Chain A
Amino acid sequence: MKADVNAHPAALSARQSQKVATRERVLAAARDLFDRLGYEDTTIREVARQAGVSVGSVFTTFTSKGEILSQVMQDRLDGLYTELDRVVPHLRGSTADRLRSMYAIHFDFEAPRMRLFLAHIATAYDWTLPATSRPYGRTPRLREIIRDCLVKGVEAGDVDPAVDVDAAVELLMGAYAWTYQRAVVDGADSKALTAAMDRQIGLICDGLRPR
């Protein structure tokens, strides 16, 4: 009787750890394939083959390729945000300077995989994406970091306290995303991306200062 009670959770956890292992293998294979072939040319079949699992078991763990990409990007961005959490408190200078440094770190991080980042933005509109996924635009972290920068600017006096901070955050979020779009089309590198964003940050911060 007692053995029966214990057997059930043990069996469950074995199944669960199997599931976690499959998930990890799929993510590792997808990470590699996305980097080498790009998102569009990576098929679920190839992901399954490289992960050494069946196509069916990929789909028991993820609902779509878009969801796999969201998870891959999420894991990567966690690393970036840990880095930013460490660096941002030490940033000095005007609000524009602090935002520029923060974005430069982003661009250096993402520039080698610009097309993948665009795919990451595109998946936000994917019909098959489950609500739990966090594509670009649905991650709270980046917004929080930008918001903190602006609030600090209000305290320092170079951002007008009457300004709608959320409207400014969304302007920066949009500028960031569309700058990638143009960069991919123009074949721009991290330096060109940073320069394009720097001008936009300058213009936005000029609009935010007290008058």
Chain B
Amino acid sequence: MKHVSPLEVAGETRVKVPTRRALAKQQTRAKVLAAARKLFSEQGYEGATIRDIAAAAGMSTGAVFANFSDKSDLFREIMSTDMAVLAEAMREAASKGRNVEDSLLKTFCAGYAFYKSQLPLARAAFSVSWAPEDGQVLRNMPPVQSMLDQIVEQHNLGVQRGELSQEAEIKLRTQMLFDAYLSNYPQAIFQGWSLDALQARSRDQIRIIMAGARRG
């Protein structure tokens, strides 16, 4: 008889049983997140309540709270998932840029294209972003930092390729570019600007911000 240590048996059962439970938990989380995404988009961040989210997901508020500590936790989870995907899409888009300004423009446009089909959710996110504490939490999320890092990298590449001068104020420009990127969203949210219009506006703004950094 082959010797099986009790440790291995325990290890096996430990893996098996929680997997099923973890799967159920994962499905519950996914259901809550889908319902929350819908309600944040329809009612805004302030208007959506945990009770409504639970009802839409077909479960009790207790079941929601078993998975998320509060509404802002739920919202953060949605935003961080989306923005991680977006940060990757931006990196991909920027890699096709012909030069610094073109890469920046492609980065911006990847963002506008991503949110174009879910502007109400973007609107809810902006509402949260202007609250002093929650806004800071959003801005400090790793995917947002990754977007800022990408802009810095694009500058560094520009300097290496000799497109930008060594003295380009990269930190200030990065922050201003990101602010400009965000500031164009209201045109899409409230005035129905098309992707083309956002692209044209961004191109002009990137040109203005980068003009002083160009070499020669």
Which residues of A are interface residues toward B (Cβ below 8 A)?
40, 115, 118-119, 121-122, 124-128, 137-138, 163-164, 166-168, 170-171, 173-175, 177-178, 181, 184-185, 199-200, 203-204, 206-208, 211
Contact = CB atoms under 8 A, between A and B. Distances in A.
A171 B172 contact: no
Interface stretch (B56-64, B141-149, B150-158, B177-185): B177-185
B177 to A, nearest CB: 10
13 contacts: A122-B130, A124-B126, A125-B123, A164-B204, A167-B204, A175-B180, A177-B183, A178-B179, A178-B183, A185-B135, A203-B209, A206-B211, A207-B211
A118 B183 contact: no
A137 B179 contact: no
Interface stretch (B15-23, B27-35, B42-50): B42-50
Contact of A207 (B43, B175, B201, B207): B207
A163 B169 CA distance: 22
Nearest to A177: B183
Interface of B: 43-44, 46-47, 123-124, 126-127, 129-132, 135-136, 169, 172-173, 175-176, 179-180, 182-184, 186, 189-190, 201, 204-205, 207-212
B54 to A, nearest CB: 20
B184 A127 contact: no
A164 B209 CA distance: 13
Contacts of A203: 169, 172-173, 176, 209, 212
Given A126-B44, A127-B46, A204-B209, A171 B130 contact: no
B208 A170 contact: no
A123 to B, nearest CB: 8
B210 A207 contact: yes
A82 B79 CA distance: 41
Query: When A and B form their complex, which 7 residue pairs have the shortest distance between CB atoms, in order from nearest?
Result: A174-B183, A122-B130, A125-B127, A167-B204, A207-B211, A127-B44, A207-B208
Contacts of B208: 163, 167-168, 171, 204, 207-208
| Prevailing SS type, chain A contact patch | helix
A138 B186 CA distance: 10
Contacts of A174: 179-180, 182-184
Contacts of A178: 175, 179, 182-183
Nearest to A170: B183
A200 B172 contact: yes
B172 A122 contact: no
B41 to A, nearest CB: 10
Contacts of B211: 206-208, 211
Nearest to A64: B46
A125 B124 CA distance: 7
A211 B44 CA distance: 46
A157 to B, nearest CB: 17
Given A118-B130, A121-B130, A181-B135, 5 more contacts: A170-B180, A170-B205, A171-B176, A175-B176, A207-B211
A174 B208 CA distance: 14
A133 to B, nearest CB: 12
A206 B208 CA distance: 8
Given A164-B204, A200-B176, A125 B126 contact: yes
B36 to A, nearest CB: 16
B212 A206 contact: yes
A151 to B, nearest CB: 16
Nearest to B126: A125
Contacts of B186: 124, 137
Most chain B CB atoms below 10 A, which of A119, A128, A164, A173: A164
